[in-house]
């Protein structure tokens, strides 16, 4: 009599609900979302992507993330700051990104604002994390927030430095993504790992 080998059953993983609808979202949730990011260029890249996400789903951005990286010179602020109107037109014709003129122009302007901060001795990571001294802040309200007093303050400070597409809702989503705010659901397997 031949014995049948039973294949092991994969354990059920509990995630934040928003990440259960698509494998790309699951991977992003499991490996990136809420993990503290302290490298200035990567923080800037994530903030720019959050700006492109405004009015759309994060999945739309994730599907085009590599296209964005190619189109925006690896999100190197020094290179992006040199983009001109010819580059704007090139980007408006690029099917690998979200083609929104205002968001493209804001990204170029935001690269210049980022460099202006550096020129004044203000390192982007230290500035951003310094605005949230108790990070990661745990959302203990039991509600999914769209913004917070910290995102409002950080949004205002970024706008004062010339940044665009950095309203408090965009900034709050960015703060969640880069680990300044820990917003994993208490039932999520990443809840304790990210905060």
Residues serving a catalytic function are 28, 50, 58
CB 46 within 8 A of CB 178: yes
Alpha helices by DSSP H, listed for 54-100, are 58-71, 77-80, 85-92
Which residues have a Cβ under 8 Å from the Cβ of 110 and sit 6 or more positions away? 44, 47, 48, 51, 162, 163, 164, 165, 166
Query: How far apart, in Å, are the Cα atoms of 189 and each of 5, 34, 141?
Result: 30, 12, 19
Distance CA 65, CA 160 (A): 28
**How many Cβ atoms from other residues are within 10 Å of residue 103's Cβ?**
20
């Amino acid at each position: 009599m031949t014995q049948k080998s039973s294949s092991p059953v994969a354990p059920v993983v509990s995630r934040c609900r928003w990440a259960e609808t698509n494998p790309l979202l699951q991977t992003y949730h499991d490996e990136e979302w809420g993990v503290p990011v302290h490298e200035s260029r990567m923080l800037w890249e994530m903030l720019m992507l959050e700006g492109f996400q405004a009015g759309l789903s994060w999945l739309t951005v994730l599907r085009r993330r590599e296209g964005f990286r190619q189109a925006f010179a690896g999100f190197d602020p020094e290179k992006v700051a040199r983009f001109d109107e010819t580059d704007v037109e090139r980007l408006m014709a690029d099917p690998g990104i979200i083609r929104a003129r205002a968001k493209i122009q804001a990204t170029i302007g935001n690269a210049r604002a980022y460099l202006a901060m550096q020129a004044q001795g203000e390192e982007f990571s230290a500035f951003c994390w310094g605005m949230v001294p108790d990070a990661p802040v745990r959302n203990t309200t039991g509600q999914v927030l769209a913004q917070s007093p910290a995102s409002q303050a950080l949004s205002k400070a970024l706008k004062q430095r010339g940044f665009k597409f950095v309203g408090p809702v965009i900034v709050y989503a960015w703060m969640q993504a880069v680990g300044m705010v820990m917003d994993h659901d208490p039932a999520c397997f990443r809840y304790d790992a990210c905060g």
